[in-house]
Every structure is written in C-alpha cells, then in structure tokens.
Amino acid sequence: MVRIMGFPSGSISFRRFAVVGNEHPEAIDQDLLDRISGHALVPGEIGVPEEAEYGWSGGRHVLDQVFTFENNVYAGETLHFALRIDSNKVPADLKRAYTMIEEEAVAATNPSGFISKNQKRDVRDSVRRKMDDELRSGRFRRSKLLPILWDLPTQTLYCNASGKTLEMLMEIFERTFGLTLMPLSSGSLALRILEPQHRRRDYEDMRPTRFVHGPDGEGQWPEYPWVLKGPEPKDFLGNEFALWLWNQTEAKENVIETSAGDVSILIDRSLDLDCAYGQTGKDSLRATGPARMPEARDAVRTGKLPRKAGIVMDVNNIQYSFALNFDTFAVGTLKLPDIEDAETPRIVFEERIALLRDVTKTIDALFEEFLSSRATSSWEGQTSSLRRWILQSSNKSVAAVA
C-alpha cells in the first residue's frame, strides 16, 4: 500500500529528538517491531472511554495496527511509524444544551416554575449518563496520526510534536523502549556539538550578547523572554545564530563555507523578529527577500532578533526550501526535490530519507560554523563587526526609504 502521509511524500514539518539511554537498539529486529505492536492503540470497548487515548500505529492509515519489515523498515536502519491520538469528549456547548433542555423540562412540571436543588442534581446525573452513552457510541471520537521517523544510525527521531502531544510521545516512547527523547533545540544541540570538543565549560559560560543598546539604555542586557519561558536556557544561541547567518549571507554573497561543503543560503518569503528585551514587540515580514526590507534592519536596531525565517538552501547543487525556527530548530514545510526515475514508492521514500539527512547535517554544519566563533575569544571581535553592520544597515535603510 502506498503511504500518503508525512515523510514519504509532500512537504515535511518536524522537530528532532536525540534518543538517549543505555538500551539503544543497534539494528531493527522482530523484537523491536513486537515492542511497538505491544503498545499499539486499541480503543477501549468496556466502560466509558478516556478523553484522550494514544498508542502506536503502523502509519499507513488511522486503523493500521500492522508492524512489519515491509511496511515500517526502510534502508534497513530507519523505522517509519506513527503515534495515534484519539480524543473523545462531548463539546461543552452540547453539554450545556443538554442540561438546559432537561432543567427547563423539569421546571415546567413544578407549580413554581423553578427547579429545585435536588432536581438540578438529578438532571446532572441524567446528563452525565446521556453523555457516557454517546461517548461509548464513538460519536465524538476523533483520531489523528503523528508521523515518526526513527533513524537508528544517528540515534535521532524526527516528529512534529509539541505541547501535550510531545508529552504523550515522550511518555509512550520511554514506556515502550526504555529510552528518553531529548528535544534538539539550539541550546541542547550546541552542547552536543561542543562537548565532544571538550568545550563544555565554554558552553556553560555563554551569556546573551548585547548587539544594540536596550530600550532603557546602554546598561540594559537582553532577556530573551521566550527562552526564559522554555526548558533550555541556552536557546538564545539560535537567535544569535540567525543574526550571524543573516550577516554572513550579505558579507559572503550568500555562500558560507562549512564542514559539509559550501552552502548557499537565502532568507526568503518570511522573517519573524521578536524583541530580546521584551519591550518593542514583534515584526512579521512577508516578501521576496524580507531581510533586505528597511523594516527588517530597523527592527534589529531596536533590539529585535530573528526567531523564524523562510530559508532557501543550496547544497551540492540541490535546492531545498523550508521554514526554520531558530530557538527550537523546528523545520517547517521542508520541500525536497522530486525523485526522478524511481521504480517503486519504497525507493522514493529511501531517497527522501537520504535527502532529509543531508538537510539536517547541513543545518548542523552551519550552526557549528557559528559556534566555532561564538565559543571562543574571537566572538568579541565578531560582535563588534555585527554591531557596525547593524548600524550600517540602519543607515542604508533610512537612505532607501528617503
């Protein structure tokens, strides 16, 4: 059966998670597939269903409970399956309507025309029984699939999960495999890059860079409100990386040398900026080449830094376009090139997996290039250069407006 969702075709949105633990499987075998099958979602048939149920799915469709090498294993080392999440809840407006109808009917039988407290309690019990019956019938059950790609060689899991959905994914993954998922945001990814280089101390010493004076003056330092609310205190590195990347695309005519080779980068279609001082709000720019707009340069001058941007990236003469969230490193609507002359859907999917690996490897190489300066004493000189660039950009913007 041809898959119609997520990673095998179309655009892809995902976050990356490091698979952490001592029991990481070295290869995909039947035992691993049996573990997934043992935690597949089988909706409860006895009693009132839970408001939310979740479990694994084969991924081909919402009722798929088949886990085989043919359907779920690609290139011999990559697992493709899904998390099925079912919600089963009577809408609040409908519950309120049931209650009002029954209360009005009971009140009409009373000489006073009002309903008593005991009768209200009876109505609540009656409405609850009615809702339980409807929940059992499946009338309000809604199912969705969250595609998952587990790349065993790199111990990386790709999935577009966040919030409550992420909590469900992390819980069932640990329950199934005895392994933990660690979101690879800009802060945690920086540590994974620097620690093997014996530079953990450099990472721990990193503090936010002040590129411009704060709204309250020279003595104010950036706070990064979105980082303060998140789980990773070093995620501001992603926003500094975004500014560095923007500067590099202009200074080096869009071509940046990395360990993965020369990478051509263009900020295109969208650019979202937020105030690192939490005072001057947000800017969302939509245009061809938004980084060249006067509004973009003026936003940086007032203390805003990029949080998300549309990226067009050329690697080895292959072009990719996607949206990148710089603090979480979440990738949105990644468009992979068409796979030509593929004989089967399986070959197409395996080629797409290889391209996906190349994309993430290149993003990491760009980030590592930034960290090679950010984690050393040379960053002070780089910061001075960035400050001059910001002021020059501002002057050019004013001239352009005039």
Asked if residue 244 and residue 106 are part of one domain, the reply reads no
Q: Which of 117, 135, 153 is the last residue of a domain?
A: 135
Q: What is the pLDDT of residue 5?
A: 52
Residues 211 and 300: beta-carbon distance below 8 Å: yes
Q: What is the pLDDT of residue 17?
A: 98
Q: What is the pLDDT of residue 393?
A: 57
Asked if residue 391 and residue 374 are part of one domain, the reply reads yes
Asked if residue 233 and residue 361 are part of one domain, the reply reads yes
pTM listed for this prediction: 0.86
Average pLDDT over residues 319-330: 96
Q: What is the CA radius of gyration of the chain?
A: 26
Instruction: Quote the number of domains for the chain.
Output: 3
Cα separations in angstroms, 185 against 168, 201, 238: 19, 19, 8
Q: Which of 117, 148, 183 is the last residue of a domain?
A: 183
Tens-digit pLDDT profile for residues 331-346 = 999 999 988 888 899 9
Asked if residue 211 and residue 79 are part of one domain, the reply reads no
> Please, where are the H alpha helices in 73-116?
92-108
- Indicate whether 232 belongs to any domain: yes
- Indicate whether 312 belongs to any domain: yes
Asked if residue 279 and residue 251 are part of one domain, the reply reads yes
Asked if residue 368 and residue 282 are part of one domain, the reply reads yes
Which residue in the block uniquely carries the two structure tokens 């075709």? 9
- Indicate whether 226 belongs to any domain: yes
Asked if residue 26 and residue 172 are part of one domain, the reply reads yes
- CB-neighbour burial class of residue 111 (10 A; exposed 0-12, middle 13-18, buried 19+): exposed
- Indicate whether 2 belongs to any domain: no
Q: What percent of the chain has pLDDT over 70?
A: 95
The per-residue DSSP string of 303-336 comes to TEEEEEEEEEEEETTEEEEEEEETTT--EEEEEP
Tens-digit pLDDT profile for residues 40-59 = 998 765 555 667 889 999 99
Tens-digit pLDDT profile for residues 126-143 = 888 888 887 777 787 888
Asked if residue 223 and residue 113 are part of one domain, the reply reads no
Asked if residue 365 and residue 216 are part of one domain, the reply reads yes
Q: How far apart are CA 13 and CA 331, in angstroms?
A: 6
Q: How far apart are CA 315 and CA 264, in angstroms?
A: 7
- Indicate whether 76 belongs to any domain: yes
Tens-digit pLDDT profile for residues 93-119 = 888 888 889 888 988 889 888 889 899
Q: What is the DSSP letter of 46?
A: S
- Indicate whether 365 belongs to any domain: yes
Most confident of 93-97, 249-253, 358-362: 358-362
End-to-end CA distance of the chain: 60
Q: How far apart are CA 9 and CA 156, in angstroms?
A: 20
Residues 64 and 57: beta-carbon distance below 8 Å: yes
Token pair for 23: 């029991």
Question: pLDDT tier at 395 (50, 70, 90 boundaries)?
Answer: very low
Q: What is the pLDDT of residue 47?
A: 52
Q: What is the pLDDT of residue 310?
A: 97
Residues 16 and 184: beta-carbon distance below 8 Å: yes
Q: How far apart are CA 138 and CA 196, in angstroms?
A: 52
Q: Which of 71, 104, 135 is the last residue of a domain?
A: 135
- Indicate whether 307 belongs to any domain: yes
Range from 163-167, 229-233, 263-267, 294-298 carrying the lowest mean pLDDT: 229-233
- Range(s) of the domain holding residue 65: 12-89+140-183
Q: What is the pLDDT of residue 51?
A: 79
